[in-house]
Amino acid sequence: MNRPLDIVVVDDEPLAAERLAGFLADMPDCRVQALAVNAVQAFQIAQTQTPELMLLDIAMPGESGLDLAKRLQQLPNPPLVVFCTAFDQHAVAAFEAQAVDYLLKPVRRERLRESIERVIRLKRTSAADDGRDFVAASFGGIIRRIALADIHYLHADDKYTIVHHRGGEHVLDQSLKDLEQQHPMRLLRIHRNCLVNRAQLAELHRDGDGRIWAHLKDSPTPLEVSRRCAGELKDWFKGN
């Protein structure tokens, strides 16, 4: 993004709001547009100033942050939402309310920075993906959206699917088959137990034993290509 991200911080605890605002003030790609202490204030700001992101508490007097997030979706240009809360039990409901991320208080500067970068990537790709190109990963009782643009590859391990992405590795509930059917233009099967992000494919090579390996742009680990998948993959590289 060429201009700062317009952000509203919503929290009924002044110290918590000021802490977040202070972190954001040190990030050149962010601009704190306003602070709000409840859902009524936040919704009015969203209507008049059209922020791009809200850092939103959940437990507030009156309307909760979860209810506000759902109501924001009715606006013509709703802001993206990152929840900042002291409670971890609302994570599933938060992502059902279209949250980008879910941060536990006290929010660390590094975690907030990760969320901001995720929001910026989503803003960059939203026109092409229409906000739907993501997978939902589970870890530590939390569910998080991972944008397909951040994924390197997905690997089936026993009964689990592991997503390898820009931020590490996480477990998915979906099967490779389901993911392949949902995202055929983004994910390509190279083995019965592996899908890769097409945008990550860099080169193929055949080793001395005749096995074919795919090398990715942002992952140091070469991935074996099965004979069944090799033909389609070679065609993709040739542009056929």
**pLDDT tens per residue across span 46-68:** 999 999 999 999 999 999 999 99
Largest CA distance in the chain: 68
Q: Are 153 and 145 in contact (CB under 8 A)?
A: no
Scan for tokens 């809360």, then name that residue: 85
- 148-238 belongs to CATH 3.40.190.170: no
**pLDDT tens per residue across span 7-18:** 999 999 999 999
Least trusted range by pLDDT, from 8-12, 137-141, 188-192: 137-141
Q: 5-132 and 148-238: same fold? A: no
Q: Domain 5-132: give its CATH code.
A: 3.40.50.2300
Domain range annotation of the chain: 5-132, 148-238
Give pLDDT, residue 3.
84
Strands 80-85 and 101-104: parallel
Please tell me the pTM assigned to this model: 0.57
Rounded mean pLDDT of 102-121?
A: 90
Q: Which residues share a beta bridge with 83?
A: 56, 102
127 pLDDT band, cuts 50/70/90, is very low
Least trusted range by pLDDT, from 1-10, 70-79, 91-100, 213-222: 91-100
